[in-house]
C-alpha cells in the first residue's frame, strides 16, 4: 500500500497534550538509536524528521498522521543522552508519563533498540514501565544492516526473553529498507486494536 505520513502537531509541554479520537502508536528510543532516520524512511523522504547532529536536542512530541489508515505515529523525544541535565531528564520523564498515562488511544509503543548494542538497562527500564501500565511494546532493532546475521539472531532471542514475548523483535534498517513492510504491517495491526 502507498502510505504517506504528515506532521500534524508538535508539542513541548504537558499542558499542550490533547486527546484525539484516532488510535496512536508511539515511537520511543534513546538518542542516536536511529529514530529520525526511521521516521524519514517511513515517510519516504529525507528531511521530514531532522536527523540530529546534536543528539538529545529534540524535546518535542511530534504527531504524524498515517494516510490512508488514519492513525497517528507519535514520535517521542529521545532519552538517555549523557550530556542532558537532571532537570531536562526530569522534564522528559514527566511529559512522557503524562502522555502515556492519560491516553486510552495509545495502542502500543514501538521501542527502538540499537542492534549494535547488548540489551541496555535504560531500555529495559522503559519496557518494564510500559508493561506496568499495560501498554504493549513493539521491539524494533534498528541499524540491522550493521551486525552479522548470527549476532542479530542472538540479540533477538535475548530481547524476546527479556520482554517475555513469543515473537522475535522486528529488524529494521533505514539504510537498506529492510523490515519496512513488516513494520508497517505490525503498526497497522496494533492501530486496529
What is the binding site for ligand GDP (CB under 6 A)?
29, 31-37, 51-52, 55, 78, 142-143, 145-146, 173-175
Nearer to ligand GDP, 62 or 174 (CB): 174
* Separation CA 2–CA 125 (nearest Å): 35
Quote the least distance from Cβ 36 to ligand GDP, whole Å. 3
**Residues ≥6 apart with Cβ < 8 Å to 127:** 111, 137, 139, 162, 163
Nearer to ligand GDP, 55 or 119 (CB): 55
**Which CB, 24 or 31, lies closer to ligand GDP?**
31
Q: In angstroms, what is the minimal distance from the CB of 70 to ligand GDP?
A: 25
Residue closer to ligand GDP by CB (options 3, 178) is: 178
- Tallying the residues shown for the chain, one arrives at 193
Q: Tell me how far apart the alpha carbons of residues 53 and 77 are, in angstroms, rounded to a whole number.
A: 15
Nearest residue to 76 (alpha-carbon basis) of 53, 52, 92: 92
Q: Quote the least distance from Cβ 153 to ligand GDP, whole Å.
A: 18
Q: 23 or 74: whose CB is closer to ligand GDP?
A: 74
Question: Looking at beta carbons only, is 156 or 173 nearer to ligand GDP?
Answer: 173
**Which residues, 6 or more positions from 128, have their beta carbon under 8 angstroms from its beta carbon?**
none
- Nearest approach in angstroms of CB 59 to ligand GDP is 12
Least distance between ligand GDP and beta carbon 180 (Å) = 10
Q: CB neighbours of 75 closer than 8 A, spacing ≥ 6?
A: 26, 27, 35, 39, 49, 61, 62, 63, 64
Cell of 102: 492519560
For residues 22 and 106, is the Cβ–Cβ distance under 8 A?
no
Minimum CB–partner distance for residue 164 and ligand GDP (Å):
26
Amino acid at each position: 500500500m502507498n502510505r504517506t505520513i504528515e506532521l500534524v502537531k508538535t508539542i513541548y509541554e504537558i499542558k499542550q497534550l490533547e486527546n484525539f479520537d484516532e488510535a496512536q502508536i508511539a515511537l520511543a528510543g534513546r538518542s542516536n538509536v536511529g529514530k529520525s532516520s526511521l521516521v524519514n524512511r517511513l515517510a519516504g523522504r529525507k528531511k521530514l524528521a531532522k536527523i540530529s547532529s546534536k543528539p538529545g536536542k529534540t524535546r518535542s512530541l511530534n504527531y504524524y498522521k498515517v494516510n490512508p489508515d488514519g492513525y497517528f505515529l507519535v514520535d517521542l523525544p529521545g532519552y538517555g543522552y549523557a550530556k542532558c541535565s537532571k532537570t531536562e531528564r526530569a522534564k522528559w520523564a514527566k511529559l512522557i508519563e503524562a502522555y502515556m498515562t492519560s491516553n486510552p488511544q495509545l495502542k502500543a509503543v514501538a521501542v527502538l533498540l540499537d542492534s549494535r548494542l547488548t540489551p541496555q538497562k535504560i531500555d529495559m527500564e522503559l519496557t518494564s514501565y510500559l508493561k506496568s501500565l499495560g501498554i504493549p511494546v513493539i521491539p524494533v532493532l534498528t541499524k540491522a544492516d550493521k551486525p552479522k546475521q548470527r549476532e542479530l539472531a542472538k540479540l533477538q532471542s535475548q530481547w524476546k526473553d527479556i520482554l517475555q514475548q513469543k515473537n522475535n523483535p522486528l529488524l529494521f534498517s533505514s539504510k537498506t529498507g529492510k523490515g519496512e513492510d513488516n513494520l508497517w504491517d505490525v503498526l497497522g495491526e496494533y492501530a486496529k486494536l
